[in-house]
């Protein structure tokens, strides 16, 4: 494993009786990468994260964190982890600074460095104004920040965050996203979220799990290539016969929409726009609308998960 690879998962599976929750998945996260981990409810996402953090034993497979095998060297591997579960593990009867002091001691931070670690983490997470308040009296958003603070107070190499911006207002969301990006500069970060735009805003890589299987593992740049326009919405005052549109170079299929509008599908590599405009002028079709349709991350997510469902159903039928 490369020294820059801080998270390595190989042949990881988890069974509950006859039910396979996670099915033989492999991936790596290197230093400086932020991985967006997506999946519909029941896909195996939470189970995978529980196995990576050592709170759930895998049925088969290997997990290495910061170079330590999680099963062979659990203490060293878990020392390298900072984890924020979906429900922040805070003691609400404690003050914020008191709780973070407690967390620092749990992580065996040297006494000489504890004050700096607590103050630095409070600053990082924007908790200065509430550091002396009881956690129970804080808003849900500030409690979420305290949860992030406990995850990073020991400056772990691996940071795993489950829904870190849930319950935050828009300003707080921007601040936490900026914090996650800073963490990603020196650490490996796994960000589990249901907010798809958050993946685009924060992550360098993305993977989607469905029914226990990884169905996408790509960089954000690779994902953006998939999101490039492959459809055009076109409107004509004098619409031609569909067969004439179908003969235009690079047009793959044509669908009639309504009100003299059609939807044209083409490949990512080649667009029929230039030929379409030329034909419209030559034949007086009266082109008045030409709108590229860009696929969204949500559409890709739905398409991939639905395709995976159909594939698995066909395998079951066969």
Distance separating alpha carbons of residues 53 and 7, to the nearest angstrom: 11
**Of 27, 37, 36, which Cα lies nearest the Cα of 7?**
27
Give how far Cα 126 sits from Cα of 117, 145, 173, 187, Å: 14, 8, 12, 20
pLDDT of residue 315: 41
Q: Are residues 10 and 73 in the same domain?
A: yes
Residues 203 and 235 in one domain: no
Question: What is the predicted pLDDT for the residue at 58?
Answer: 96
8 neighbors 64 (Cβ within 8 angstroms): yes
- For residue 27, which of 70, 81, 59, 63 has the smallest C-alpha distance? 63
In a domain, 170, yes or no: yes
* Residue corresponding to tokens 């159909």: 310
Residue 2's pLDDT is 53
Which domain range does residue 280 map to? 228-293
How many domains does one find in the chain? 3
- Beta strand segments in the chain, E: 5-16, 19-30, 34-38, 60-65, 68-69, 81-84, 158-162, 188-192, 205-210, 213-219, 231-236, 253-256, 261-265, 287-293
Would you say residue 275 lies in a domain? yes
Is the domain of 8 the same as that of 54?
yes
Averaged pLDDT for residues 106-115: 96
Count the Cβ atoms, other than its own, within 10 Å of residue 313. Answer: 10
**311 found inside a domain:** no
Residues 43 and 21 grouped into a single domain: yes
More reliable by pLDDT, 179 or 276: 276
| Token pair of 93 as six digits | 């009867």
**Which of 155, 171, 195 represents a domain boundary (last residue)?**
155
Kind and range of the H or E run holding 304: helix 297-317
- What is the share, in percent, of the chain residues with pLDDT greater than 70? 94
Of the listed ranges 18-32, 73-87, 256-270, the one predicted with least confidence: 256-270
Q: Which of 28-42, 66-80, 296-310 has the lowest mean pLDDT?
A: 296-310
Q: Which tens digit of pLDDT belongs to each residue from 31-71?
A: 999 999 998 888 899 899 999 999 999 999 999 999 999 99
* pTM: predicted TM-score of the whole model, two decimal places: 0.78
Say if residue 72 is in the same domain as residue 210.
yes
User: What CATH number does residue 54 fall under?
Assistant: 3.40.50.300
pLDDT of 307 reads 67
Instruction: Return the CATH number at 239.
Output: 3.30.70
Q: Which position has the higher pLDDT, 230 or 128? A: 128
Is the domain of 39 the same as that of 164? Answer: yes
Instruction: Identify whether residues 75 and 1 lie together within a single domain.
Output: yes
């Amino acid at each position: 494993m490369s020294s820059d690879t801080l998270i390595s998962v190989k042949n990881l599976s988890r069974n509950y009786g006859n039910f396979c929750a996670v099915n033989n998945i492999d991936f790596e996260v290197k230093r400086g990468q932020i991985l967006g981990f997506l999946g519909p409810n029941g896909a195996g996402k939470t189970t995978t994260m529980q196995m990576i953090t050592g709170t759930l034993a895998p049925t088969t497979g290997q997990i290495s964190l910061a170079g330590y095998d999680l099963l062979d060297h659990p203490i060293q591997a878990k020392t390298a982890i900072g984890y924020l579960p979906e429900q922040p593990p805070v003691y609400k009867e404690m003050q914020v600074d008191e709780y973070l002091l407690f967390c620092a001691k749990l992580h065996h931070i040297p006494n000489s460095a504890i004050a700096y670690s607590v103050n630095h983490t409070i600053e990082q997470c924007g908790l200065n104004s509430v550091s002396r308040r009881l956690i129970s009296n804080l808003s849900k958003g500030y409690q979420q920040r305290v949860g992030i603070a406990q995850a990073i107070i020991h400056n772990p190499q691996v940071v795993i965050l489950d829904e870190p911006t849930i319950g935050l207002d828009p300003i707080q969301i921007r601040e936490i996203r900026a914090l996650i990006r800073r963490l990603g500069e020196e650490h490996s970060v796994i960000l589990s979220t249901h907010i798809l735009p958050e993946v685009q805003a924060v992550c360098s890589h993305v993977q989607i799990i469905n029914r226990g299987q990884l169905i996408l593992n790509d960089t954000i740049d690779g994902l953006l290539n998939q999101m490039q326009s492959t459809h055009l919405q076109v409107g004509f005052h004098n619409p031609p016969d569909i067969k004439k549109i179908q003969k235009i170079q690079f047009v793959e299929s044509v669908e009639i929409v309504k009100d003299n509008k059609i939807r044209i599908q083409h490949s990512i590599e080649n667009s029929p726009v230039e030929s379409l405009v030329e034909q419209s002028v030559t034949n007086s079709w009266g082109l008045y609308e030409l709108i590229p349709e860009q696929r969204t991350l949500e559409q890709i997510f739905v398409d991939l998960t639905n395709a995976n469902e159909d594939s698995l159903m066909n395998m079951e039928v066969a």
